[in-house]
Structure formats: structure tokens, C-alpha cells
Amino acid sequence: MTETGIVLQFIFSGLTAGAIYALVALGFCVVENSLRIVNFAQGDFLTLGGFFMSTLLLSLGLPWPLAAGLAILGVGVCGILLERLALRPARNRDPLNLIFITIGASVFIRGLIKLLWGKNPRSIPAPVSGPPLKVLGASLTRESLLVLAVGLLCVLILQVFYRASLRGRALRAVAASPRAAALIGLPVGHLNALSFFLAGTLGAVAGLLILPITGVSFDSGLILGLKGYAAAVLGGYGSFPGAILGGLLLGVLEALVAGFVSSGFRDVFAFGLLFLVLAVKPSGLLGAAEVERV
């Protein structure tokens, strides 16, 4: 393989991982735009989606599209339960307390997954098959193409939802000013639950996409959630375009570092980049000059 092909191979690998990071980052941004908090249980939504999918597909024998739909819906409902049972009763408290609640929810979800499914990782056969595509000597697998295509589709659906639908516009109003939204009669509590539903579905989609490639274990969401948060901060926390840019950029840079330096630096680089962005430009690449941090 030529040097160009090697670099391109690393880029393809990075874009695949970056699409997963971007979906997780979008989930962070959805919650940030409604409650103004960091939902540290976002990565565990990914894990739940993977385990739900493996159970529905392999244990119950459901068709792939039906199993995927039920897994995504199930994790979305888990997101609503997190907001209604854990966060809403503490709504009038310090936002920092809400963040701690999401950390506790993350630990609880991981423990529940380990109790129900055990410590062994789960995987499923790839929904697509066929020879990889050759581009300048590099190989792009069908699974990678599916990840990129589904990631792009989710972004487009989310953009249309927020800009064209009544509920999406209401969520944007809540993001701008929850107090003003409540004064004009918008159901802020319902909309906050909807934001957690969307965050859950985005995490589940990421779990479904990564399941045939690397599989998931009970603690997979921890590292992937932190990398999704790093991607969101890199792109501009709360910005949907920034989440996409940050996820793809983080994935590509990670792959290049792992390929040309050492794979052991992959995670170190991601979190080192997060610290650098927070220190030098906390608003991220596409964020506003001044952003609210809680």
C-alpha cells in the first residue's frame, strides 16, 4: 500500500469512529440546549442500545429492522424515565446537583447492565455485507459506509425537526430562555423529557452502529461517552454543526495519532485535546464567544 493509501486508510477508520462520537455529542447538545447541563449518562444510552439490540435480534429472533426500532424506542423511553424520575424532582436545585444525578444514573445503568446481561461483551452480525470499496489503495468497508450514512441521516432528521416542526421550535425556545418559554405557555417539563428522549435515541443509534464492528460491554459507554463529550466541546458545546465537526475531527486525529505514533496514545490524545480546548478556546470551533458552563 502506498503512503497515500495508508493515510487515507487511517482517515476512513477515523471517520467511522468520528461518526459514532458525533452521534454521542449530538445527544449531549440536545440536553444542553434544554436543561443547560451535562448528561454524563449519554454514553450509557449507547450501551443500552447495543444490549437491547442483541437481545431482540439474537435471543428473541426479531427481524433486524423491527429489533432496531424497538431498541431505539426502548432507550428513548429510558431517557424519559431518567428525566422524570431522577432530574425533575430536583429541578429547582443547583444545576451542579443535576449533573451529579446524571453521574449517579450512569453508574446505576452500568451496574444494571452487568446484573442483567453479565460482563461478557455482545456483538451481532453486520446488517450489510460485501467486498470493501477501494479508494486510492485504501479500503472502505460496507459497515463504515453504513455508519457514515446513518450518521448523516440522523443529522439531517434532527436539523429538519428543530427547524420545521412545532415541537422542534418549542425546544429551541426553551433553549433560548426556559423562563420566557414557560411564560408564553410552553410545557417546559414535557419538552425537557422530549430532549432526553431524543438524546436516548441518538445514543441507541450509535450503539446499534458500533455493535457489529467492535461489540459492546457493560462499560463501553464510559469511554465513548467521554469521547463524545470531548467532541461536543471541541466543536462548540451545544452546537449541532459543531458536534458533527468535532466528532469527525476527533475521530480522524485519533486514527492518525494511533497509526503514526502509537495506539496507546489514542485515548490520551482525545482527552489531552479536550483539556487544551477548554484551556485555550472553551467555546470550541463553532461555539459562541461566550457560553454558559454548569
Q: CA quadruple 107, 108, 113, 118: dihedral positive or negative?
A: positive
Residue-range definition of the domain harbouring residue 74: 3-280
Alpha helices (runs of H) in the chain, residue ranges in sequence order:
3-35, 42-54, 64-81, 95-117, 142-164, 166-176, 178-183, 188-210, 220-235, 240-260, 266-280
Q: How much is the average pLDDT of 206-220? A: 91
d(CA 178, CA 231): 26
- What pLDDT score was predicted for residue 93? 66
Tell me if 193 is assigned to some domain: yes
pLDDT at 137 over 80: no
Q: Residue 288's pLDDT is what?
A: 60
Residues 146-155 have pLDDT tens digits of 899 998 899 8
User: Do residues 197 and 80 make contact, with C-beta atoms less than 8 angstroms apart?
Assistant: yes
Q: Does 291 reside within a domain? A: no
In this predicted structure, the answer to whether residue 293 has a pLDDT above a threshold of 70 is no
- The radius of gyration computed from the CA coordinates of the chain, to the nearest angstrom, equals 19
**With bands split at pLDDT 50, 70 and 90, how would you rate the model's confidence at 284?**
confident
What pLDDT is recorded for position 63? Answer: 94
| Structural domain includes residue 79 | yes
Q: Pairing mode, if any, of strands 138-140 and 133-135?
A: antiparallel
Cell 431505539 locates to 72
Q: Over the stretch 239-277, which tens digit does the pLDDT of each residue have?
A: 888 899 999 999 999 998 888 887 777 778 888 888 888
Q: For 170-209, write each residue's pLDDT tens digit.
A: 888 887 777 888 888 888 889 999 999 999 999 999 999 9
Mean predicted confidence (pLDDT) in 279-286: 82
**Any domain includes 293:** no
**CA angle (144 as vertex; 262, 26 as ends), nearest 5:** 85
pLDDT digits (tens, 9 = 90+) for 47-58: 999 999 999 999
Please check whether residue 192 lies inside any domain of the structure.
Answer: yes
292 in any annotated domain:
no
Q: What residues contact 290, with CB distance under 8 A and at least 6 apart?
A: 283
Asked if residue 62 lies in contact with residue 56, where contact means CB atoms within 8 angstroms, the answer is yes
pLDDT at 220 > cutoff 70: yes
Residue 47 lies in a domain: yes
Average pLDDT, the chain: 87
Q: How many domains does the chain have?
A: 1
> Has residue 162 been placed in a domain?
yes
Q: Give the per-residue SS3 of 36-101.
A: CCCCCCHHHHHHHHHHHHHHHHHHCCCCHHHHHHHHHHHHHHHHHHHHHHHHHHHCCCCHHHHHHH
Question: What CATH number did the domain enclosing 143 receive?
Answer: 1.10.3470
Say whether pLDDT at 40 is over 90: yes
Total-model pTM:
0.91
Residue 1: per-residue pLDDT: 60
